[in-house]
Amino acid sequence: MTTRRSFLGGLIAATAAPRIGWSAVGAPAFIAAAKEPDGSYALMGLDSAGIETFSVPLPARGHAACGHPTRAEAIGFARRPGRFALVIDCATGGVVRCLEPETDRHFNGHGAFSADGTRLFTSEQEIEGSRGHVGIWETEGYTRIGSFPTHGIGPHELRLMPDGETLVIANGGIETVDREKVNLDRMVPSLVYTDLSGQLLERVTLPGDLHQNSIRHLAVRPDGLVAFAMQWQGAPGLANPLVGLHRPGTTPILATAPLGEQMLMQDYAGSIAFSGAGTEVAITSPRGGRLHRFAPDGTFLGAMKRDDVCGLAPLADGYIASDGMGGLIALDAAGPRALGRLDHAWDNHLVAL
């Protein structure tokens, strides 16, 4: 019987080969996890036209990924609660290394590199109690060198800020046993800023009546404006905000669409991204089949209907989005246009490399 460990062991590529940059592998623009028609899982590279550049099998469902700033390497993370993160050689599609968290923790689907690429930071939580941690790995051999607290529970996405010295972390506030949520009445989601050694710089929480609004996903504009996507865990149908915008040291802006549109989101934002031009931000809801666009001051700009849409990333002046039926679309001032449909069920995230 093939185990997860033996499966991964069969994929590990030799690490002695010289490492090359993104331009040498055709400069893939995005990476995304997907389910194949036969029920297996894979991690895919895509160019800006939506054409597949590489595909690597996964031993279980994937979630998100992050790309090394200079080397043609990407990290593909298991869906929460996951015990693997694969270091992918994007030139060959081979797996360089499989990372595993400490025995009392699991990965939460996201990570980020330092600006110089010498360190990888991974979102993790304790199996018992869901206390959050950021794992630290050196990237020559991808050896774990430490960790520090996220100053919250149930962390999800983390991002490097443009200063290259700060991490922003989305603490969802949810304690889980496997995927069962056990503390919805006492949730405390937070947006946390730390330096790269883990020193707490700022911790932002939501108003008390929104304590069940789990902060999940992040986008960061080059000037340091942070956008965060939320998933409401309380009573349904209250049309609570699902997108926030924040600058360190200020009060977050919480934005909503007009009531009818907000209700169609079904309390769930799956991905968030600034447009390529940085002039607006968008969120997606696969549950509602909607994409909502907002100005940086929180003004609602418009909506697009797309069944099972979730993956979202900057593309040119606008966005690229993916859906669970294999569809890829571009969206800009001229409106949406199809990039194509591949024979994959795209998972939650489309990550720019």
Q: What is the CATH number of the domain that holds 315?
A: 2.130.10.10
Q: Tell me what pLDDT residue 332 has.
A: 93
- Residue 226 in any domain: the answer is yes
Instruction: Identify the band that residue 13 occupies on the pLDDT scale cut at 50, 70 and 90.
Output: very low
What is the count of structural domains for the chain?
A: 1
Q: Tell me what pLDDT residue 235 has.
A: 95
Instruction: Identify the band that residue 89 occupies on the pLDDT scale cut at 50, 70 and 90.
Output: confident
Report yes or no: 35 and 79 within 8 Å, Cβ to Cβ: no
- Residue 130 in any domain: the answer is no
- Residue 311 in any domain: the answer is yes
- Residue 210 is part of which domain span? 206-353
Instruction: Identify the band that residue 16 occupies on the pLDDT scale cut at 50, 70 and 90.
Output: very low
- Residue 12 in any domain: the answer is no
Over range 346-353, report the average pLDDT. Answer: 94
Instruction: Identify the band that residue 1 occupies on the pLDDT scale cut at 50, 70 and 90.
Output: very low
Residues contacting 52, CB < 8 A, separation 6+: 44, 45, 46, 342
Q: Tell me what pLDDT residue 14 has.
A: 39
Instruction: Identify the band that residue 90 occupies on the pLDDT scale cut at 50, 70 and 90.
Output: confident
Top pLDDT among 9 and 91 is at: 91
Report yes or no: 293 and 237 within 8 Å, Cβ to Cβ: no
Over range 263-278, report the average pLDDT. Answer: 98
Q: How many residues does the chain have?
A: 353
The residues facing 337 across adjacent strands are 330
- Residue 241 in any domain: the answer is yes
Instruction: Identify the band that residue 6 occupies on the pLDDT scale cut at 50, 70 and 90.
Output: very low
- Residue 175 in any domain: the answer is no
Over range 24-42, report the average pLDDT. Answer: 86
| Residue 10: exposure state from Cβ atoms within 10 A (0-12, 13-18, ≥19) | exposed
How many C-beta atoms surround the C-beta of residue 9 within 10 A? 11
Tokens representing 88 are: 């992918």
pLDDT-wise least confident of 89-93, 94-98, 179-183, 220-224:
89-93
Query: Burial letters for 76-88: b for 16+ Cβ neighbours within 10 Å, e otherwise?
Result: bbbbbbbbbbbbb
Percent of the chain at pLDDT > 90 equals 84
pLDDT tops 50 at residue 12: no
Looking at this protein, which amino acid is placed at residue 58?
L
Taking only the tens place, the pLDDT of each residue in 92-139 is: 778 899 999 999 999 999 999 999 999 999 999 999 999 999 999 999
- Residue 344 in any domain: the answer is yes
- Residue 146 in any domain: the answer is no
Tokens representing 249 are: 């040291």
Instruction: Identify the band that residue 26 occupies on the pLDDT scale cut at 50, 70 and 90.
Output: low
Q: Tell me what pLDDT residue 2 has.
A: 38
